[in-house]
Amino acid sequence: MNWKLWVYLQETPLFWLTATLAAFLIADEFSKAARRHPLVNPVLIAVALVAALLKLSGTPYKIYFDGAQFVHFLLGPATVALGVPLHKNFALVRRNLAPMAAALVVGAVVAILSSVVIGAWAGAPRVALVSLAPKSVTAGVAMAVSEKLGGLPPLTAVLVILTGVIGAVVVTPLMNALRIRDYAARGFAAGLASHGIGTARAFTVNPIAGAFAGIAMGLNAVVTPVLVPLILPWLIR
């Protein structure tokens, strides 16, 4: 009887949405208990919990996504909502327009070049290189760019998450080691390199860092889809 109940729940979209939210809440409690240590990243823990549940239950990704797609849908509104910190800190942003513009272009180009060149050097096939190129922008944008250029959106989504988690883990220790104290610069770098996950981490460190991370994430979501089609043909002929 219990097995029949599990089979029923497994195929119910609401179950997987609930499981996703519960996994994040559990992961966030772990992060709080660790005093928001960068290594105890709630997104990474939540991904591991959901992946373990899918593996143990033998649930196909399609069934899971049918339930969790509402979370995926919210990526769009969440990205648009990043205009709020831009409005609140507009005076500070205006004073830093020139360095922000330079950092945006250089950071976006380096993110594309470094990933594709390293992937090509490692012998990755063309489809993997295309999927890798937009890894530093938010998942919704990255998957759309990947699909349009012939990549694999699911692979891009995985790479985006890995990029975000790695960025969220290393950004604070790296900035401290480099003795960068300007929270606007720290946040902008985090949002530019590691999109939403890095932005979430920046908000836990400092409100100004979070605001500038959100700005960088939003701007990079505009710039990278323009740059990738221009740069990619020169890299993977």
pLDDT band at residue 9, thresholds of 50, 70 and 90?
Answer: low
Q: In angstroms, rounded to a whole number, what is the distance separating the alpha carbons of residues 148 and 134?
A: 12
How confident is the prediction for the chain on average, in pLDDT? 85
Digit-coded pLDDT (tens) for 165-206 = 888 888 888 898 989 888 988 999 999 998 888 888 888 888
Counting residues of the chain whose pLDDT is more than 90, the rounded percentage is 29
Q: In angstroms, rounded to a whole number, what is the distance separating the alpha carbons of residues 202 and 40?
A: 14
Higher-pLDDT residue of 153 and 58 is: 153
Of 216, 197, 212, 214, which is closest to residue 38 (Cα–Cα)? 197
Digit-coded pLDDT (tens) for 221-235 = 889 999 999 998 888
- The DSSP secondary structure of 14-28, one letter per residue, reads HHHHHHHHHHHHHHH
The vertex-100 CA angle with 95 and 105, nearest 5°, equals 155
Contact 85, 211 (CB under 8 A): yes
